[in-house]
């Protein structure tokens, strides 16, 4: 009986399955597979003969390019369409392998993708909603409140997460967000007003090239932790630079660009963007280095180490709102310069960390650096949000979140690279591991010091240019 059912089922499948044109399938597979192979050979020849890289290096670089292109097209859903058209012609070893690896990840990406997109949406609009709720005249207070909440969350989340994971399991961390999200959704639907945004089309090419740039640069700065070296790292840098150039060219010609490049003609906007990137890079490098110093050099217990590491976010949570509100009354640039000056003093103290450094000095210097960060962060946000038209405030807020992400990647990469390289240098003369780490940390801190000096110079120059522009505007108004 079962055999008859199976035979009937096979006949039904054969009858309902679409008939394939073998000749057409062979032709499509032949020419698409040939184009992919020809493209690979062209890239290989470019590296081997154009750049004189040698056969082995050229082959490795070609594989990297093909895997990157195939993975990108798979993520965008383009490679699936190629596969449906060409059939076996798309299963060329390298590109087919990349597609087979990325496809399952795309299939099971839902949790991380949804959470990542949701978090990005909240980051991009949270400051905008606060500014529009409090009014443009209290923009500094709004961004300060947002900074305080973010800093408090960043400070308490590791401790709270470890407590929850240790008591009821790590899965409960995700379940805990469900009622929080429902409450936020209800409150948002109740109190947030519907607003009309800018009437513009989605800039898909700009979005794709910008995402490629960000991914390539983030991977480049984290290449060491991923085990990528040499040509792989160079290929990531080249991909990032090329995609950025394409992005800028496209954005200048696009009617509805993803980022209005005209914003960067404003010296205040450009300067504050760079200052924030440097500030995030410095702070994340320090925050990454501190736990290792406390544990490996000072042998501080884990519980106390966790409290010390909360020094920076605590100061941000306490003072960011105050300095944001103060920037509305006295202006932002004095506070930015004051915050950078305090951070420079804190870095000088941090550079003196050694194996015999007392814990109170460590805590005091970290609190001082956090105080300086709170003094400059909210005023920087205030300048950046105020430098763009109100209808584009969401773009500026999203760019702030991007600077934070880039700063995280740059800071952690600087920590890993400098500490590793300088540790190898000092190991030749210093037998004690604690001394080696503290000396390598000192070198890293002085590099961070130079980065903040650049930020100070940019702020002073921008302040001078801003004053000149205001003076010219007043003179034109008086004469006009």
pTM here is 0.67
pLDDT of residue 97: 44
pLDDT of residue 234: 78
pLDDT of residue 358: 92
pLDDT of residue 342: 95
pLDDT of residue 110: 43
pLDDT of residue 401: 74
pLDDT of residue 111: 44
pLDDT of residue 390: 73
Which mean pLDDT values do the consecutive 10-residue runs of the chain (480 residues) have? 63 61 70 76 76 68 66 60 66 49 44 51 61 70 74 69 69 76 78 61 76 77 63 78 86 77 81 87 88 87 81 87 88 89 95 91 94 89 80 73 76 79 85 86 91 89 79 73
**SS3 track for the chain:** CHHHHHHHHHHHHHHHCCCCCHHHHHHHHHHHHHHHHHHHHHHHHHHHHHCCCCHHHHHHHHHHHHHHHHHHHHHCCHHHHHHHHHHHHHCCHHHHHHHHHHHHHHHCCHHHHHHHHHHHHHHHHHHHHHHHHHCHHHHHHHHHHHHHHHHHHHHHHHHHHHHHHHHCCCHHHHHHHHHHHHHHHHHHHHHCCCCCCCCCCCCHHHHHHHHHHHHHHHHHHCHHHHCCCCHHHHHHHHHHHHHHHHHHHHHHHCCCCCCCHHHHHCHHHHHHHHHHHHHHHHHHHHHHHHHHHHHHHCCCCHHHHHHHHCHHHHHHHHHHHHHHHHHHHHCCHHHHHHHHHHHHHHHHHHCCCCCCCCHHHHHHHHHHHHHHHHHHHHHHHHHHHHCCCHHHHHHHHHHHHHHHHHHHHHHHHHHHHHHHHHHHHHCCCCCCHHHHHHHHHHHHHHHHHHHHHHHHHHHHHHHHHHHHHHHHHHHHHHHC
């Amino acid at each position: 009986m079962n055999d008859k059912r199976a035979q009937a089922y096979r006949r039904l499948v054969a009858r309902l399955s679409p008939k394939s044109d073998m000749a057409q399938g062979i032709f499509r597979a032949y020419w698409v597979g040939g184009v992919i192979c020809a493209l690979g050979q062209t890239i290989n020849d470019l590296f081997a003969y154009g750049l004189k890289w040698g056969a082995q290096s050229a082959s490795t670089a070609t594989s990297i390019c093909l895997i990157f292109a195939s993975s990108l097209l798979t993520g965008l859903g383009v490679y699936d369409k190629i596969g449906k058209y060409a059939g076996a012609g798309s299963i060329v070893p390298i590109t087919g392998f990349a597609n087979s690896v990325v496809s399952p990840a795309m299939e099971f990406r839902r949790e991380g993708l949804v959470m990542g997109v949701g978090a990005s949406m909240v980051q991009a609009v949270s400051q905008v909603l606060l500014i529009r709720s409090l009014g443009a005249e209290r923009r500094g207070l709004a961004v300060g409140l947002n900074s305080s909440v973010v800093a408090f969350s960043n400070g308490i989340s590791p401790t709270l997460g470890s407590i929850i994971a240790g008591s009821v399991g790590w899965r409960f961390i995700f379940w805990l967000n469900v009622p929080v999200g429902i409450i936020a959704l209800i409150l948002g639907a109740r109190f947030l007003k519907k607003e009309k945004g800018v009437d513009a089309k989605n800039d898909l090419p700009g979005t794709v090239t910008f995402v490629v740039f960000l991914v390539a640069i983030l991977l480049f700065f984290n290449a060491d932790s991923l085990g990528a070296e040499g040509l792989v790292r160079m290929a990531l840098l080249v991909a990032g630079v090329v995609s950025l150039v394409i992005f800028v060219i496209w954005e200048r010609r696009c009617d509805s660009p993803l980022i209005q490049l005209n914003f960067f003609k404003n010296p205040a906007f450009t300067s504050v963007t760079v200052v924030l990137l440097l500030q995030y890079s410095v702070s994340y490098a320090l925050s990454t280095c501190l736990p290792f110093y406390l544990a490996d050099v000072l042998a501080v217990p884990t519980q106390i180490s966790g409290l010390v590491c909360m020094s920076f976010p605590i100061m941000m949570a306490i003072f960011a709102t105050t300095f944001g509100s103060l920037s509305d009354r006295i202006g932002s640039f004095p506070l930015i310069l004051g915050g950078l000056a305090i951070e420079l003093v804190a870095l000088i103290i941090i550079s003196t960390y050694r194996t015999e450094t007392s814990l109170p000095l460590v805590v005091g210097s970290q609190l001082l650096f956090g105080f300086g960060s709170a003094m400059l962060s909210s005023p920087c946000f205030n300048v950046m949000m105020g430098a763009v038209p109100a209808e584009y405030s969401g773009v500026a807020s999203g760019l702030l979140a991007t600077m934070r992400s880039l700063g995280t990647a740059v800071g952690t990469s600087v920590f890993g690279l400098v500490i590793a390289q300088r540790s190898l240098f000092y190991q030749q003369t210093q037998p004690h591991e604690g001394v080696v780490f503290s000396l390598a940390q000192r070198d890293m801190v002085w590099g961070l010091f130079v980065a903040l000096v650049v930020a100070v110079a940019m702020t002073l120059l921008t302040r001078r240019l801003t004053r000149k522009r205001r003076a010219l505007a007043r003179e034109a108004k008086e004469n006009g």
